[in-house]
Amino acid sequence: GAVVSQHPSRVICKSGTSVKIECRSLDFQATTMFWYRQFPKQSLMLMATSNEGSKATYEQGVEKDKFLINHASLTLSTLTVTSAHPEDSSFYICSATPSGTQYFGPGTRLLVL
């Protein structure tokens, strides 16, 4: 299957700082990628759709000024959590599809102190 990577795998930051998470499709090009967030013992929640060359589409209730998404190339999407707070601590996962089936990255564990 297709491979999606994320970097970093885990990050710890201080409250008020910004954190960037990268999502890469390693063996295919993806005009669209998706970002999810998962809190402990809960299911994945779709945050936004990242579109190459255009603005991201955010799900209802997700602050687009807080979660900045950039999809500058066909293999890379980045999620920046701006002015992070402890409540932003979560597991962030991206996905992409080469042909209709979504493949997920390994996730990034964010801890905001």
Partner 1 sequence: LAKTTQPISMDSYEGQEVNITCSHNNIATNDYITWYQQFPSQGPRFIIQGYKTKVTNEVASLFIPADRKSSTLSLPRVSLSDTAVYYCLVGDTRGSTLGRLYFGRGTQLTVWP
* 12 interacts with partner 1 by CB under 8 A: no
The tokens for 42 are 């809960």
Rounded Cα gap, residues 82 and 20, in angstroms: 9
* 4 interacts with partner 1 by CB under 8 A: yes
The tokens for 105 are 């990255």
Strand partners, 23: 6, 77
Residue count at the site for partner 1 (CB under 8 A)? 26
Among positions 60-79, residues that touch partner 1 (CB under 8 A) are none
Place of tokens 């402890």: 86
Nearest alpha-carbon partner for 97 in 30, 24, 1:
30
* 109 interacts with partner 1 by CB under 8 A: yes
**Closest separation in Å from C-beta 100 to partner 1:** 4
Q: Which amino acid is at 58?
A: Y
* 100 interacts with partner 1 by CB under 8 A: yes
Closer by beta carbon to partner 1, 82 or else 91: 91
Residues lying near partner 1 in the complex (CB under 8 A): 1, 4, 6, 31-32, 34, 36, 43-46, 49, 91, 93, 95, 97, 99-107, 109
